[in-house]
Amino acid sequence: MLEADNLECVRGERRLFAGLGFKLEAGELLYLQGRDGAGKTSLLSVLGTALAPTAGNAHILGTPVPAGASAALRNRIGTVHQAPPLPGRQRVVTAVLAGKLGQWPAWRSLASLLYPLDVAGARAALDRVDLADKLFARCDQLSGGQLQRVGIARVLYQQPDLILADEPVSALDPTLALNTIRLLVADAEARGATLVASLHAVDLALGNFTRIVGVKGGRIAFDLPADQVSTPLLHELYASEG
The chain-wide mean pLDDT, for the chain, equals 89
User: Mean pLDDT over residues 49-71, rounded?
Assistant: 82
**34 neighbors 237 (Cβ within 8 angstroms):** yes
Per-residue pLDDT tens for 196-231? 999 888 888 888 999 999 999 899 999 999 999 999
SS3 sequence, the chain? Answer: CEEEEEEEEEECCEEEEEEEEEEECCCCEEEEECCCCCCHHHHHHHHCCCCCCCEEEEEECCEEECCCCCHHHHCCEEEECCCCCCCCCCEHHHHHHHHHCCCCCHHHHHHHHHCCCCHHHHHHHHHHCCCHHHCCCEHHHCCHHHHHHHHHHHHHHHCCCEEEEECCCCCCCHHHHHHHHHHHHHHHHHHCCEEEEECCCHHHHHHHCCEEEEEECCEEEEEEEHHHCCHHHHHHHHCCCC
Distance CA(47)–CA(219), nearest Å, equals 16
The whole-model pTM stands at: 0.91
Does the bond joining 64 to the residue before it have cis omega, within 30 degrees of 0?
no
pLDDT in tens, 140-176: 999 999 999 999 999 999 999 999 999 999 999 999 9
pLDDT for the residue numbered 107: 59
pLDDT of residue 207: 86
Q: Percent of the chain, pLDDT > 70?
A: 93
Residue 26 pLDDT more than 80?
yes
Residue 112 scores a pLDDT above 80: no
Residue 37 has pLDDT above 90, yes or no: no
- Does residue 241 have a pLDDT over 70? no
Higher pLDDT, 158 or 69: 158
> Looking at the predicted structure, is the pLDDT value of residue 126 above 60?
yes
The pLDDT value recorded for residue 242 is: 46
Per-residue pLDDT averaged across 50-57, rounded? 88
Counting beta carbons within 10 angstroms of the beta carbon of residue 63, is it exposed (0 to 12), middle (13 to 18) or buried (19 or more)? middle
Q: φ, ψ for residue 235 (rounded to 5)?
A: -60, -40
Alpha-carbon 74 to chain mean position:
13
Question: Is residue 72's pLDDT more than 90?
Answer: no
Phi, psi of 24 (to 5 degrees): -135, 125
